[in-house]
Structure 1
Amino acid sequence: MKEDTTEKKTQKQPYTDAYFEKGHWGLKLWQTIVALLGWAGVLIPLFVTALSYLGVRYHWFKPLWTYREGIYKIRFIGVVLLFAFVMVLVFSVSMAIIQNRKRDRLVEQWPTYNPINQKKRTSELDLFMDKRFGKAEFRQNVRNYRVEPEQNLETHEIRQLFDAHDIDDL
């Protein structure tokens, strides 16, 4: 139990945020005010535009502005956004259908290889390479390795190795 807590303490955090730490009241106040002003800068124009559009279109209340070009632009933007929404919807649904069909077609199939034979082939190749080129640890840790001409592989040597040990190769 103590190991887990010490491990968490020694684990390095990839990021820090002073806003969520204890203290730093000035920073918290400043960032909160800036965030609220940012949201006000987004929501107030949207609210004024929506009220003006509804006031001109349906005469529910007096609009804050009545520019004819503004009303046409709002309608145009609405049509463009509706078109974009429909295109994104069609694309998303069609891609989901295509991916589901592909998954059903590929995932539901039987494996295309025999895992038992794959293990046999891997172990047989490991033995062959160890015998021909040296141990795997040596091959992986050596900086330069010169292959002698008699160590080169023949064209069908690995196929013949599998055939000699009766291992099916797909």
Structure 2
Amino acid sequence: MKNERERQQLYTDLYFEKGHWWLKIWQTLVAIFGWMCVFVPIIITVTSFWAIYNPKIPHIWSYSEGIFEIKFIGILLAFAFVMASLFATSMTIIQNRRRDRLAEQWPTYNPINQRRREDTLEAFMDARFGSKEFRENTRYYEVKPEQNLDTDEIKEIYRASNLDDLG
């Protein structure tokens, strides 16, 4: 049970553990300050822009250059949004057509025969290099010259097992 719990525990965060009150207070204040740094300039800009159409709205600045710049940036962002939308839509259509032509055709391999190939290869590796557990848990292993694989050795194993034409 402990080993399974250790595998499940991928990270920890002291903020969400019991205790650590000063850390929680400090990180909460930093987060609030960060969000204020995001929202205050947005509110100032929006109210200043809105105030040119409705003078009852309180605003901090009303420079004509600033209003022109906001309009210009709005036009640029609208153009960028339209171009990104066109690109994303066209790429989606192209990829869907390509997938329909290629990927959804007859399966490229037979899963049952693929499993037989994996079992055959696993048995070969067990005989040549030791058990799977040994291979996965060894930090350093020196391959002997007679253990090296020939160029077509795996292909020959499949051919000998009548698995060479199975994809």
What range is the shorter-chain TM-score in? 0.5 to 0.7
CA displacement at 1:37 relative to structure 2: 0.8
CA displacement at 1:57 relative to structure 2: 3.4
Give the whole-Å Cα distance in 2 for the aligned partners of 1:117 and 1:10: 36
TM-score normalised according to structure 1 size: 0.65
Matches within 5 A, 1:61-76: 61-76=57-72
Give the whole-Å Cα distance in 2 for the aligned partners of 1:53 and 1:144: 77
Give the whole-Å Cα distance in 2 for the aligned partners of 1:22 and 1:52: 45
TM-score normalised according to structure 2 size: 0.66
Give the whole-Å Cα distance in 2 for the aligned partners of 1:30 and 1:138: 59
CA displacement at 1:50 relative to structure 2: 0.5
Q: Which runs of 5+ in 2 are unaligned?
A: 131-142
Taking only the aligned residue pairs, the percentage that are identical comes to 45
Give the whole-Å Cα distance in 1 for the aligned partners of 2:11 and 2:81: 36
Give the whole-Å Cα distance in 2 for the aligned partners of 1:48 and 1:90: 32
Q: Which runs of 5+ in 1 are unaligned?
A: 127-134
Q: CA 1:94–1:14 in structure 2 vs 1: closer, same or farther (change >3 Å)? A: same
Root mean square deviation, CA, Å: 3.7
Work out which of the two has the higher radius of gyration on C-alpha atoms and give 1 or 2.
1
Q: CA 1:66–1:104 in structure 2 vs 1: closer, same or farther (change >3 Å)? A: same
Decide which moves more: 108-117 or 19-28. 108-117
Give the whole-Å Cα distance in 1 for the aligned partners of 2:151 and 2:13: 59
Other structure's SS at 1:81 match: helix
Report the counterpart of residue 101 of structure 2 in structure 1: 105
